[in-house]
């Protein structure tokens, strides 16, 4: 089983996260940020990655440190669980509709970092989530996982909740594809370099 557990403790946050790439999308999340908790539940369900998360942070300041550190730990856990990348499909993409919103997420588990998005927030907040943290969250995941991640809005729609939900769902679906084992080359690294 491809699993990982990461614990991160700072003066600002305490985060403990476990994942199982070969799960069924079960989640157990203890997080005071209600909107981010909902997004991570959606991510787990769509990716079929089992996710267990306990996070506490300095929410009396704002949601920045907690959101950032969860993203850092999620990226690190993905990198650890994927391991040497033998047999993975490596690439994944999903064009996902969320009512009036249409988003494409594309991933390359190359070991190199890149994050690009055309997301532009219209509202500053959705529930207890600062919308400026969307870009920072996904960038932090991509940096720590060593992935190329693109989240592009083909139709941005007009509902901020839908925009964010579409991003998390499409990311989950694209990741589900990228980490899947390709039975035709399950003992091979998916690169002409022989290493990722």
Which pLDDT tens digit goes with each residue over 17-65? 999 999 999 999 999 999 999 999 999 999 999 999 999 999 999 999 9
pTM of the model: 0.97
Count structural domains, the chain. 1
Q: Residue 6: pLDDT band by 50, 70, 90 thresholds?
A: very high
**Phi and psi angles of residue 120, each rounded to the nearest 5 degrees, phi first:** -130, 115
Mean pLDDT across 112-130: 97
CB 188 within 8 A of CB 196: no
Residue 193 resides in a domain: no
pLDDT at 195: 86
Residue 86 resides in a domain: yes
Task: Provide the 10 A C-beta neighbour count for residue 162.
Answer: 18
Q: What is the CATH number of the domain that holds 174?
A: 3.30.230.40
d(CA 58, CA 64): 9
**pLDDT, tens digit, for every residue of 77-104?**
999 999 999 999 999 999 999 999 999 9
Contacts of 79 (CB under 8 A, 6+ apart): 4, 144, 145, 146
Q: Residue 171: pLDDT band by 50, 70, 90 thresholds?
A: very high
Residue 191 resides in a domain: no
pLDDT at 1: 84
Domain of 132 in residue numbering reads as 3-185
CB 143 within 8 A of CB 109: no
pLDDT at 194: 86
- Nearest CA-CA partner of 171 in 67, 94, 87, 58: 94
24 in helix, strand or coil?
Answer: coil
Average pLDDT, the chain: 97
Contacts of 11 (CB under 8 A, 6+ apart): none
């Amino acid at each position: 089983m491809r699993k990982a557990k990461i614990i991160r403790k700072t003066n600002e946050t305490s985060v403990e996260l476990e994942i199982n790439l070969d799960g069924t999308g079960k989640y157990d999340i203890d997080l005071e940020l209600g909107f981010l908790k909902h997004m991570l539940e959606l991510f787990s369900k769509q990716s079929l990655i089992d996710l267990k998360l306990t996070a506490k942070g300095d929410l009396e300041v704002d949601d920045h440190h907690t959101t950032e550190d969860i993203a850092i730990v999620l990226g690190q856990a993905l990198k650890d669980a994927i391991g040497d990348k033998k047999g993975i499909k490596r690439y994944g993409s999903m064009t996902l509709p969320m009512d009036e919103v249409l988003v494409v997420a594309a991933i390359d588990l190359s070991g190199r970092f890149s994050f690009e998005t055309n997301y532009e927030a219209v509202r500053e907040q959705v529930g207890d989530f600062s919308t400026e943290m969307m870009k920072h969250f996904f960038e932090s995941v991509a940096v720590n996982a060593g992935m190329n991640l693109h989240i592009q809005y083909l139709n941005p729609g007009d509902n901020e909740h839908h925009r964010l939900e579409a991003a998390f769902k499409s990311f989950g679906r694209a990741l589900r594809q990228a980490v899947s084992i390709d039975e035709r080359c399950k003992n091979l690294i998916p690169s002409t370099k022989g290493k990722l």
